Amino acid sequence: KSTTLIFELSKKGRRGAHLPACDVGGPSAAELLPAEALAAEPPPLPEVAEPEVVRHFTNLSTLNMSVDTHFYPLGSCTMKYNSKRNERIAGLPGLADLHPYQPESTLQGILQLFHELQQYFGEISGLPAVSLQPAAGAHGELTALMVAAAHFRKLGQKRTKILAPDSAHGTNPASAKMAGFEFVTVKSLPTGNVDMDDLRSKLDDTVAVFMITNPNTLGMFDKTVGEIANLVHSFGGLIYLDGANMNAILGIARPGDFGADMMHYNPHKTFSGPHGGGGPGAGPICVTETLRPYLPCPVVEKTDGQYRLVYDKPDSIGRVRSFFGNVGVLIRAYCYIRTHGPDGLKRVSETAVLNANYLLSKVKHFLPVPQGARCMHEFVASGLTLKKSKGISAMDVAKRLLDYGFHAPTVYFPLTVPEAMMIEPTETESKETLDSFAEVLFRITEESGELLHEAPHTTPISRPDEVRAARQPVIKWTPAAT
């Protein structure tokens, strides 16, 4: 398949779109606008015919692995099936062709959807106050930390620190910084659970929030979460729950019930929004009633049978995004929740956990899994032995999997496990696929280092030179660069 760039296909005079003649007559735009504002030429975009646009992007698409085509056990990313029915529904004109500033009388359907979705998210989390506005998980973290900051400001408390374990997602410290806090790392145990002693040593009344991912990034449920929450609360701090791993506990345990004060969802993970090659996601947050006044505006409320967008909450932190939020992702989440219902959602987590434990039971015989024989919806195998015995790295294994038609697991995360391979099968894969993946993984561990260092062999490209990319950055095409 060609990797010619669209710019290299350009030829002066070709074009795709033709716009209609102007039906209102009148002066030209050049006459209507001041000369000094006008460019002499339109931007030098590529000039290509429509069939070329179609063939170019169609062929590019086929260079990707995707959930629609391959098993994609990318740990922590919950690459589950993205239902086609949700795509079709989200495209209905009555949902897709709505302007955010339409009169509310013309929006009662979608506002009802949001209102119900706020309730579902609140119910599933056990944290009743919901904002649908944040645009991504990390954005939700940031928003929630701003909510916490507003809360402590209101209380007149000066709390400057955010704590989180070393096994946390990188977004946790980054969000803490953006929310104006100092970030302090707490150690975690080999199970991924929080080191209570270290936590205790770092807790005081300057700590605003302790951020915890539970189930944690090793795929284990941290049993001590209740104890942690009590401890943090005893210092007046808040617990933030990174909801990345909610796929393990839907209908089974609720963050609000095990001590969280705030959390975000990743609806693109847990509620099957398509990942879009990197986005969009969404990052709705749920908080306790105490924290509700600080949520961003608008929120949807129902009064006298009418749904309304409420903008005027005096203690609100304001807004973190234009308009309402990543509505398209939220609609899909709504569809997903309605498709499954209470039993189905619980069954999602049960199946995700069953699938992960089954795969773990197959893999642990040839790839050590430091966390032990059980996991929640994902587990982290370590390639350390393989590395030591045969010089085969987790990256080698990952690359070789591509040759067999499997996307690689997440590698080298969490940072606390050497040669980590973080495997999340999700509930929407079959036993046959898991069997076949385990078999291939075993076969790879038996293969020669030489074969693996050079892997992948059958993919559209072989391993790229990432160092060169970073050292001599070429981040746009120029005619000279070809």
Partner 1 sequence: MPYTYNTPDDERSMLQSIGVDSVAELFQFVPEEFRLQRPLDIPSALGELELTQHLSALANRNASAQQKACFLGGGSYDHFVPAVVDALASRGEFYTSYTPYQPEVSQGNLQVMFEYQTLICQLTGMDVSNASLYDGGSAVAEAVLLAMSVTGRNRVVVPASMHPEYRQILETYFACLGAELVTVAAPSGSVSLADIAAAVNAETACVVVQHPNFFGCLEDVQGIAKIAHAAGALLIQSFDPLSLGLLKRPADMDADVAVAEGQCLGTPMLFGGPYLGIMACKEQFVRRMPGRIAGQTVDRRGRRCWVLTMQTREQHIRREKATSNICTNQGLFALRAAIYLSEMGPQGLREVADLCVRKTAYAKQQLTSQPRFVSAFDRPTFKEFVVRDTQGRVAEMLEQAADAGYLAGVPLARWYPEMADCFLVAVTEKRTRQEIDGLVSALSAASKSSAPRPHTSLAQAAWA
Q: Of residues 58, 289, 304, 305, which one binds partner 1 by CB under 8 A?
A: 58
Locate 193 and state its tokens. Answer: 């659970």
Q: d(Cα 434, Cα 424) in Å, to the nearest integer? A: 11
Q: Does 290 bind its own copies (CB under 8 A)?
A: no
> Cβ closer to its own copies: 128 or 405?
405
Residue type at 423?
I
Q: Does 319 bind partner 1 (CB under 8 A)?
A: yes
> Cβ closer to its own copies: 67 or 395?
67
Site for its own copies in 398-417 (CB under 8 A): 405
Site for its own copies in 10-29 (CB under 8 A): 11
Q: Of residues 5, 50, 306, 318, which one binds its own copies by CB under 8 A?
A: 50
Site for partner 1 in 422-451 (CB under 8 A): 427-431
CB 332 within 8 A of CB 271: yes
> Cβ closer to its own copies: 85 or 158?
85
Identify the three-state secondary structure at position 236: coil
Size, binding site for its own copies by CB under 8 A? 25
Q: Of residues 3, 33, 62, 276, which one binds its own copies by CB under 8 A?
A: 62
Q: Which stretch binds its own copies (CB under 8 A): 39-47, 366-374, 429-437, 450-458?
A: 429-437
C-alpha distance from residue 250 to each of 43, 62, 131, 322 (Å):
50, 34, 19, 30
Q: Does 430 bind its own copies (CB under 8 A)?
A: yes
CB 396 within 8 A of CB 390: no
Minimum gap (Å) between residue 268 Cβ and its own copies: 17
Residue type at 205?
D
Residue 150 touches which member of its own copies, partner 1, none, C-beta under 5-8 Å by kind: partner 1
How would DSSP label each residue in 79-104? -----HHHHHHHT-HHHHS--TTS-G
Q: Of residues 71, 73, 118, 124, which one binds partner 1 by CB under 8 A?
A: 124
Q: Does 480 bind partner 1 (CB under 8 A)?
A: no
> Cβ closer to its own copies: 355 or 371?
355
Q: Which stretch binds its own copies (CB under 8 A): 56-64, 104-112, 350-358, 388-396?
A: 56-64
CB 386 within 8 A of CB 445: yes
Q: Which stretch binds its own copies (CB under 8 A): 65-73, 156-164, 175-183, 196-204?
A: 65-73
Which residues have C-beta within 8 Å of that of residue 226, sequence separation ≥ 6? 258, 259
Q: Of residues 63, 160, 200, 439, which one binds partner 1 by CB under 8 A?
A: 63
How would DSSP label each residue in 423-444? E---SSS-HHHHHHHHHHHHHH
Helices 137-155 & 171-178, crossing angle to 10 degrees? 40
Q: Which stretch binds its own copies (CB under 8 A): 68-76, 103-111, 221-229, 413-421?
A: 68-76
Q: Does 103 bind its own copies (CB under 8 A)?
A: no
- How do 285-287 and 129-131 pair as beta strands? antiparallel
> Cβ closer to its own copies: 44 or 93?
93
Burial class for 385, CB neighbours closer than 10 Å (0-12, 13-18, 19+) = middle
Q: Which stretch binds partner 1 (CB under 8 A): 71-79, 238-246, 284-292, 441-449?
A: 71-79
Q: Does 360 bind partner 1 (CB under 8 A)?
A: yes
Q: Does 222 bind its own copies (CB under 8 A)?
A: no
> Cβ closer to partner 1: 70 or 389?
70
Q: What is the 3-state secondary structure (H, E, C) of 157-203?
A: CCCCEEEEECCCCCHHHHHHHHCCCEEEEECECCCCCECHHHHHHHC
Q: Of residues 61, 157, 201, 230, which one binds partner 1 by CB under 8 A?
A: 61
Q: Does 175 bind partner 1 (CB under 8 A)?
A: yes
Q: Of residues 59, 64, 201, 306, which one binds its own copies by CB under 8 A?
A: 59
Q: Where does 274-319 show beta strands of DSSP type E?
A: 285-287, 299-303, 306-310
Q: Does 469 bind partner 1 (CB under 8 A)?
A: yes
Q: d(Cα 368, Cα 219) in Å, to the nearest integer? A: 15
Site for partner 1 in 387-426 (CB under 8 A): 398-399, 402, 407-408, 410, 413
Locate 281 and state its tokens. Answer: 């996601």
Identify the three-state secondary structure at position 224: coil
Q: Of residues 33, 64, 81, 102, which one binds its own copies by CB under 8 A?
A: 81
Q: d(Cα 68, Cα 158) in Å, to the nearest integer? A: 49
CB 423 within 8 A of CB 414: no
What's the residue count for the chain? 482
Q: Does 429 bind its own copies (CB under 8 A)?
A: yes
Q: Does 127 bind partner 1 (CB under 8 A)?
A: no
- Residues near its own copies (CB under 8 A) are 1-2, 9, 11, 49-52, 54-55, 58-59, 62, 67-70, 81, 83-84, 405, 428-430, 432
